[in-house]
Amino acid sequence: MATAATPAAPAAQAGSAHKRVVFVVGGPGSGKGTQCDMLARDFGVPFFSAGELIRSLIASGCPEGKQLQDIILQGQIIPSEVTVGLLQKAMATTPSDTVLIDGFPRNHENRTVWASQVGYDCEMVLLFDCPDEVMLQRLLGRAGQGSRADDNEETIRKRVKNFKSQMEPVLEHYRGIGKVTTIRTDRPISDVYAEVSGIWRQRFANATAAA
């Protein structure tokens, strides 16, 4: 089988300003997307999803998107340099000095490529911690409501297991430098958000309000 050509990493705008970046991570069904939406609504902070940026590029039908689609169809992993490049390009579109990045980094390589390519690290890692069985039931309950086509018990358990194994070295690194804030999300959305928004006000509200 021929190997799909690797697309060049999208170039960020020259002179892109240093951002205060918050990585938002959590297993599938942990509720991180919902909480990011609420933070964006209430504090005006932009957030970018690595997965959504990739899907949007593929859906555009542009040559780079077609190359990414070929990579995925061949069962290969999209290079971290490409993912980071998409995030850099997205961050350059907002004047805000603080941004949320949802679902990144996913593994140790993502983190190291970010550090070398962007040139600075995140300000904080928000870890949405949720029991496996709760995430499983949430995803199974989404059937027919925008859930992934492969959302069945077996594939969900595999996704959760992969998330944990790949994220462990990332979390170990960030815990070692005191950047991880863990939020338990097996609670009502409003309870989780009360904690999340409180953390945000304490750490970032002045920055986002001034943006």
Q: How far apart are the first and last CA of the chain?
A: 49
70/79 Cα distance (integer angstroms): 13
Are the C-beta atoms of 44 and 96 separated by less than 8 Å? yes
Are the C-beta atoms of 23 and 102 separated by less than 8 Å? no
- Nearest 5°: phi and psi at 107? -160, 175
**Element spanning 102, H or E:** strand 98-102
59/62 Cα distance (integer angstroms): 8
Are the C-beta atoms of 140 and 81 separated by less than 8 Å? no
Tokens 């815990």 found at: 175
Q: Is the peptide bond before 188 cis (omega within 30 degrees of 0)?
A: no
The whole-number pLDDT of residue 4 equals: 52
What is this structure's pTM?
A: 0.85
Cα angle: 54, vertex 57, 61; to 5 degrees: 140
151/80 Cα distance (integer angstroms): 25
Cβ within 8 Å of residue 1, ≥6 positions away: 74
Distance, CA of 16 to chain centre? 20
Nearest alpha carbon to residue 127 among 172, 65, 188: 172
Retrieve residue 29's tokens. 């069904």
For 143, other C-beta atoms within 10 Å of its C-beta total 10
Retrieve residue 187's tokens. 């609670």
Which domains does the chain possess?
A: 20-49+97-202 (3.40.50.300)
Report which DSSP code applies to 125: E
Would you write out the chain's pLDDT as a tens digit for each of its 211 residues? 444 555 655 554 434 578 999 999 999 999 999 999 999 999 999 999 998 999 999 999 999 999 999 998 988 889 999 999 999 999 999 999 999 999 999 999 999 999 999 999 999 999 999 999 999 999 998 765 555 666 788 999 999 999 999 999 999 999 999 999 999 999 999 999 999 999 999 998 765 444 4
